[in-house]
Structure 1
């Protein structure tokens, strides 16, 4: 596939996930205020749009780095840093460009997007973050199997711990 077409396909997949964030996660941000008639839907959506853009520009790179480079080990340097050992020879086979292959990125995005779309149409509030982390981990499993040496288990444990702790802590805040 030509690079320009591939770039457009990946961009479209990213837009699809972004649309899902608006469709599902927006309810988490503004649903209570709209439901309680504190703000009109239109005003709440406008405010949310402004602050989503600000958050993405000012802080989004932190989470982007975790999702894009923090879940899977895709380079010999990362492998040596995590395991203090030489990387397996198969590393070049799975990650020849020392990053997730474009097809893997596409599959992770589309998988997350489809899941969140289905949840949105069934009126279930779900986390797009959980969906995309699951998508990245899923493509990792699809590529290397359940070989844990290709995963940054410490990062995954931190993410999973936050997912479990978040609702519990919010009950008491």
Structure 2
């Protein structure tokens, strides 16, 4: 098979990985905004594509350097090894989708590349240990930050986001002057527009973090082998993720946007903001971060923080005004929490058995990819 054909195969496999990442990431990033009817699926796909490209083009290339150059010593990547590694990453995405558990693409990518390094004796152990250390620190940080928010500030945030939608557009373009200006639409309040802006801004930050951390997962091996330049690799990955946002993303938006009872709007925004900040920070220092794992631990932390908050409620529930997104004590068991835009019982945020299963599978998929990669490259040295 000619090198040109192999390169075409490699780009197709990388694009497959990027499309899947973009499809799943769009639902996570813009689910709350679409579910709140602040943006359409088409607008969500467009914003996702733009901010993925910005994140990949600015910070994402640092992660590409780590995976494509720093993690392994020497020049271990060839076009054939790159294709095999990308197949492992794409296969992990497929398995996680079948199991219904979002696996960490970053952890799988690192594991697949590390398997090659272990088999060939080229693994840069110092960088590998640094990555693993951050994988342990970041989820713990996400847990505790979310726990503090859940315990002390969640009620205040939920009350602030309790915005009664007036219906119709929130803004309109005023073309009466020489320069068109954007103004608050008649009937809409500034508080409503501000709240909507916060939701959309956090969604765009999510998309930026997806580009910063996940562009490398699709093209780092091809960039590391020298078959794609850094700029070309980032563009291929960002374009593929954008296609995924407009195609597969519509389905994940349908699921995430219309099933907000599993994670109410306020909780979704807290988890998204905490996770995105951590992912962008790690990507900035070249560490491939797992949005999925950090987000999972942030959800657990938020639920745990809410659970500890219950201990301070009086035994006899007192009535509070019911607002959209504002937690109120129910007339049932003391300490039960509800939100009018979706239940916020602690079990919805933190269910030990389900959480344990998700965390186990999230870590099992990268381990299987690492072992599989090692086995293939050890037994077939000609690759």
- TM-score normalised by L of structure 2: 0.35
Which residues of structure 1 form unaligned runs of 5+?
75-97
Corresponding residue for 2:110?
133
Corresponding residue for 2:50?
50
1:126 Cα offset (Å): 2.3
Structure 1 residues 26 and 121: alpha-carbon distance in aligned structure 2, compared to 1, 3 A threshold? farther
1:167 to 112, 130, 139: 139
Corresponding residue for 2:128?
156
1:19 Cα offset (Å): 1.2
Whole-angstrom CA distance in 2 between matches of 1:6 and 1:166: 37
Corresponding residue for 2:79?
102
1:160 Cα offset (Å): 1.2
2:96 to 112, 119, 123: 119
Q: Which has the larger radius of gyration?
A: 2
Whole-angstrom CA distance in 2 between matches of 1:25 and 1:159: 22
1:18 Cα offset (Å): 0.4
Whole-angstrom CA distance in 1 between matches of 2:35 and 2:108: 26
Whole-angstrom CA distance in 2 between matches of 1:36 and 1:139: 45
Greater relative CO (CA pairs within 8 A, separation 6+): 2
Corresponding residue for 2:8?
8
Q: How big is each residue's C-alpha offset from its partner over 1:32-54, in whole Å with a ceiling of 9 and x where there is no partner?
A: 43445554433222211110011
1:68 Cα offset (Å): 0.4
Judge which range, 11-20 or 117-126, deviates more: 117-126
Aligned 1:82-93 pairs, distance under 5 A: none
Whole-angstrom CA distance in 1 between matches of 2:26 and 2:102: 10
Structure 1 residues 49 and 132: alpha-carbon distance in aligned structure 2, compared to 1, 3 A threshold? same
> SS of 1:59's equivalent?
helix
Whole-angstrom CA distance in 2 between matches of 1:65 and 1:59: 11
The count of aligned residue pairs is: 145
1:99 Cα offset (Å): 3.7
1:14 Cα offset (Å): 0.9
Whole-angstrom CA distance in 2 between matches of 1:39 and 1:171: 29
Does the 8 Å CA contact 2:34/2:41 hold for their aligned counterparts?
A: yes
Does the 8 Å CA contact 1:24/1:120 hold for their aligned counterparts?
A: no
Q: How big is each residue's C-alpha offset from its partner over 1:62-115, in whole Å with a ceiling of 9 and x where there is no partner?
A: 0000000111112xxxxxxxxxxxxxxxxxxxxxxx341221111111101110
Which residues of structure 2 form unaligned runs of 5+?
146-383
Aligned 1:57-96 pairs, distance under 5 A: 57-74=57-74
Whole-angstrom CA distance in 2 between matches of 1:67 and 1:30: 28
- TM-score normalised by L of structure 1: 0.74
Structure 1 residues 122 and 49: alpha-carbon distance in aligned structure 2, compared to 1, 3 A threshold? farther
Question: What is the CA RMSD across the aligned residues, in angstroms?
Answer: 2.0
